[in-house]
Amino acid sequence: MGADRPEATAPDRRDKTSPWPVVVVLGIVLSEVGILFNLYPVSVTGLLLFTGSVAGIVTEAGYAVRPWRLLVGLGAAFVVVGLLIVGSQVDGGLASYLDAAARDDGIVQRGYTVAAAGAIAALVGIVGSRTVDRVVFR
């Protein structure tokens, strides 16, 4: 994608600045700390920063025209990962997943945290793609 849009990358290379790397790092750090210590707000914040900044930096680098589709994809991936984590502790169908949400189980809580953060990111991506003007990203 980037190869066919050299005009998007060239000015960035000359500028030699980007606000995104620091945010990507903050997202990774908060995600890791939050998930390990099961700190719900920290995990969600970290994962949102991570998904958002990856979508942002990829767009800025010229590998994507707009960030929304990638944001939706990353969010969906985290939903899947989160549900897989929950699934490792749950047997049965939807009802057992719902029951597990009420349990005081650290691993299940972490799984739902990841899934919830992914769902928020995907939602932001969907809303953004329908509301934010394309021109901003040209």
Q: Which of 124, 133, 138 has the alpha carbon at shortest distance from 49?
A: 124
Cβ atoms 96, 90 nearer than 8 A? yes
Write phi, then psi, for 78 (nearest 5 degrees). Answer: -70, -35
Q: Which of 5, 45, 66, 76 binds another protein (CB under 8 A)?
A: 45
Judging by beta carbons within 10 Å of its beta carbon (0-12, 13-18, 19+), is residue 32 exposed, middle or buried?
middle
If one asks whether residue 56 binds another protein (CB under 8 A), the answer comes out as yes
**d(C-alpha 90, C-alpha 101), whole Å:** 10
Residue 98 vs 132, nearer CB to another protein: 132
If one asks whether residue 132 binds another protein (CB under 8 A), the answer comes out as no
If one asks whether residue 23 binds another protein (CB under 8 A), the answer comes out as yes
Stretch of residues binding another protein (CB under 8 A), selected from 43-51, 66-74, 111-119, 121-129: 43-51
Cβ atoms 15, 60 nearer than 8 A? no
Count of residues engaged in binding another protein, rule: CB under 8 A: 34
Site of interaction with another protein (CB under 8 A) = 11, 13-26, 28-29, 32-33, 36-37, 41-42, 44-45, 48-49, 56-57, 60-61, 106-107, 136
